[in-house]
Chains A and B, each alone.
Chain A
Amino acid sequence: MRILIAGGRVIDPTSGLDEVLDLLIEDGRIVRIGRGLAAAKVQAAKRGRSEKGAKSGSSDVAVDRVMDATGLVVCPGLIDMHVHLRQPGREDKETIATGTLAAARGGFTAVCCMPNTDPVNDTRSVTEFIRDTAKREGVVQVYPVGAISKGLKGEELAEIGELFEAGCVAISDDGRPVMDAELMRRAMEYASMFDLPVIAHCEELRLSGSGVVHEGVVATELGMRGIPSVSEAAMVARDLLLAELTGARLHIAHVSAAESVRLIRDAKSRGVRVSCEASPHHFTLTEEAARGFNTRAKMNPPLRAESDRQALIEGLRDGTIDAIATDHAPHTVQEKEQEFDLAPFGVVGLETALALTLTTLVAPGLLSLNQAIARLTSEPARVLKLPKGRIVEGGDADLTIFDLNREWRVNASEFASKSRNTPFDGWQLKGQAVATLVGGKVVWEA
């Protein structure tokens, strides 16, 4: 299958490339990057038709499809390193099929799925189930994240070696923190044998208590129990020190508090091998979104104060925060239509992440387009040591084509995801994916 993507603004953050170029794709790889490939193809096609039997070189063979990317951006396929696909166990909320379709619709070509499924991904058989299902029914690449502890109970190490061999790209107990510091230390030491990053969900459960929103002004005004920033930051501090001690690779998930950003910036400057991510909902919204007891704005960690949001943006700008990841967490409508205290934590994000990044960060000039794309492509690839996130001759043809300027209204009822729990329903956003290619195949287009 040969595809020519013609006339798009090709951006590859790693090499600094940002030019209007054509890309020629063949057998799942990028074989040529250059100017004027489109014209040559048209010529060759004409020649091929008029001169029957004439000999042609490989560069003159006609293509199966020409995609006109004029006025659009072509970048490496977006990678979401924090997604909950819910399968096995809660297929009512999402499946690998629907979740990866939602990813493709959002311009993502790869996702990492978290292990808090049912059963938990703490053994080879579950990892293989996920990979096999993804191969059969998945629309984009799926990289499983294995558990740190058996059953996510936080008591004993899971068989991390086996998980690594089965194809896990990282380990995490996400959904829950590893409360036992000794266990976290051992997990870091053990994981580093396989050079696996440890993805930490940082939360001091006792400080969180039965909190449901950020411990701030809104919680006080509405009489709701709060989750203080220190619940995240205290655990971040602990895990940074453990990473420093063990030399392991630590990745901190869903950073939400200014204090956490501060600690990570400091640790990086001292050479600790830490990376971290922030989600679009955290850099776009604040605790104010929870007013009116809006359960679509309830997630963990919660939306915090404006000063925290500003700290996240600053972190994304100066590189303290490496990646943008959605923490896509589908929940059924019934579950979210409950008293705020009872509704489960979590919001979906795959289908709005790119647009929010462009609308909230790039359009007002807070992040350059190049930086933004890096946070969604080359940076997650670097953290996970995946051979992705690059546009380079010979590399995989995982590509995202998007329209920087297309304005659209978010309509949750049209989501490819099975779930609708987004705080952005009805929002006017600017920027949208128009085509997603995985392994040289167009898996989704608008």
Chain B
Amino acid sequence: MGLGRKDLLTIRDLSAENIRLILDTAESMKEVASRDIKKVPALRGKTLINLFYEPSTRTRTSFEIAGKWLSADVINVAAFASAVAKGESLKDTGLTLQAMRPDIVVVRHPAAGAADLLAKQLAASVINAGDGAHEHPTQALLDLFTIREKKGRLEGLKAAIVGDIAHSRVARSNIYAMEKVGMEVRVAGPATMLPRFIDRLGVAVYTDLERAIADVDVIMMLRLQLERQQAGLFPSLREYSRLFGLTVERLKAARSDALIMHPGPINRGVEIAPEVADGPYSLILNQVENGVAVRMALLYLLVGAAQAG
């Protein structure tokens, strides 16, 4: 049983069995959130370090709460503001941390492969909380959990991921995760934001939003990443939202019970209209809530393996 590995760096490392185990465990963890005393001693005495090289409220807080509810000691290192800014290499940061013997290091970094680099160096379990445009595995897991919670199953469902696919680690992880559990995946966005060879990942490719969302069970909108944007991939926010923004009007092309998801933070009025984001089928807040439960499940499942391995 267990995940049989020290780290979680990519969704591709997990089998469908592993994913199921994480989701089932997350259900049990979710119950803890409903208690008066939101604490269980499962990770008592363990140290978790959040090593974030990019600012983040959502993910970092989610991991922090997950660790604390499991009674772990949680340390937040805002690497983008500290020694690293003085030029300390990732490798040296890793060695420094190793000397403090953490049990789990959660890392978010702008370079693809950064989590892999750290995992090779550290005896601790390393969890990839986002490395460049590569992967964000815990996001995909909580997305699957949210879908399964609402629909009761995953296999056979159809999902459409819309937005800047080329630069999106959320898209990549979700594509891999959804395919692993037997979902059908479509991607849609401006041609300039669809990477070449994306079809080799087994997805259907669209540049027309309404065609992409027709008949799907889940619509996942991606944030238009203004900060990571290379200039010149689209002419203006206005044109982007006109063509790819999910409005109530556009939604009519989809099934009436299609679930709306977004990894956040949302650009209201750009990729998603406020009425849709706040509408009855929107699972955006559920995703946030489930993020804690899924991360608790992951922390719980990884800890034993780190010592045994």
Contact = CB atoms under 8 A, between A and B. Distances in A.
Is A–B contact present in the complex under a CB 8 A cutoff? yes
B228 to A, nearest CB: 11
A224 interface: yes
B271 interface: no
B135 A223 contact: yes
B200 A220 contact: yes
B196 interface: yes
B201 A339 contact: no
Contacts of A217: 197, 200
Contact of B116 (A216, A293, A338): A293
Contact of B111 (A220, A292, A334, A341): A341
Interface string A290-303: 00110000000000
A368 B198 CA distance: 40
Given A219-B195, A223-B132, A292 B200 contact: no
B200 A340 contact: no
Interface string B112-126: 111011000000000
A224 B172 CA distance: 11
A139 B230 CA distance: 47
Interface residues of A, number: 22
A293 B113 CA distance: 6
Contact of A209 (B110, B134, B172, B230): B230
Specify which of A215, A219, A339 lies most central, judged by the most chain B CB atoms within 10 Å of its CB.
A339
A292 B120 CA distance: 11
B169 A293 contact: no
A132 to B, nearest CB: 36
B112 A340 contact: yes
16 contacts: A216-B196, A216-B197, A217-B200, A220-B198, A222-B112, A223-B112, A224-B112, A224-B132, A224-B134, A225-B133, A293-B113, A293-B116, A338-B90, A339-B109, A341-B113, A342-B111
Contact of B117 (A216, A220, A224, A339): A339
Interface in B83-130: 89-91, 109-114, 116-117
Contact of A223 (B109, B117, B172, B197): B172
B169 A292 contact: no
Interface string A245-266: 0000000000000000000000
Contacts of A338: 89-91, 117
A45 to B, nearest CB: 61
A223 B113 CA distance: 9
A224 B134 CA distance: 7
A337 interface: yes
B135 A220 contact: no
Specify which of B114, B134, B195, B201 lies most central, judged by the most chain A CB atoms within 10 Å of its CB.
B195
Contacts, number: 62
A221 interface: yes
B269 to A, nearest CB: 28
Contacts of A334: 89
Contacts of B230: 209-210
Nearest to B118: A339
Contacts of A223: 112, 132-135, 169, 172
Specify which of B109, B113, B172, B198 lies most central, judged by the most chain A CB atoms within 10 Å of its CB.
B113
A219 B109 CA distance: 18
B7 to A, nearest CB: 14
A292 B134 CA distance: 12
Given A337-B91, A339-B117, A220 B112 contact: no
Contacts of A293: 112-113, 116-117
A334 B91 CA distance: 9
A441 to B, nearest CB: 43
B2 to A, nearest CB: 24
Interface majority SS (helix, strand, loop, mixed), chain A: loop
In order of increasing CB-CB distance, the 3 nearest A-B pairs are: A293-B113, A339-B111, A223-B134
Interface of A: 209-210, 215-217, 219-226, 292-293, 334, 337-342
Given A220-B195, A340-B112, A342-B111, 18 more contacts: A209-B230, A216-B197, A217-B200, A219-B197, A220-B201, A223-B132, A223-B135, A223-B172, A224-B113, A224-B134, A225-B133, A226-B196, A293-B116, A334-B89, A339-B114, A340-B113, A341-B112, A341-B113
A339 B91 CA distance: 9
Interface string B155-184: 000000000000001001000000000000
Given A209-B230, A338-B90, A220 B116 contact: no
A334 B200 CA distance: 35
B169 to A, nearest CB: 6
A209 B232 CA distance: 12
B196 A341 contact: no
Nearest to B132: A223
Contacts of A340: 111-113
Contacts of A226: 195-196
A118 B227 CA distance: 35
Contacts of B132: 223-224, 341
A89 to B, nearest CB: 21
Nearest to A224: B112
B147 to A, nearest CB: 23
Contacts of A342: 111
Contacts of B111: 339-342
Specify which of A225, A334, A342 lies most central, judged by the most chain B CB atoms within 10 Å of its CB.
A225
Contacts of A216: 196-197
B193 to A, nearest CB: 12
B134 A222 contact: yes
A225 B169 CA distance: 12
B133 A224 contact: yes
B134 A339 contact: no
A223 B167 CA distance: 7
A225 B197 CA distance: 13
A225 B114 CA distance: 15
A420 to B, nearest CB: 16
B112 A215 contact: no
Nearest to B176: A221
Contacts of A225: 133
Contacts of B196: 215-216, 220, 226
A134 to B, nearest CB: 34
Contacts of B172: 223
Nearest to A290: B113
Nearest to A209: B230
Nearest to A225: B133
A419 B195 CA distance: 35
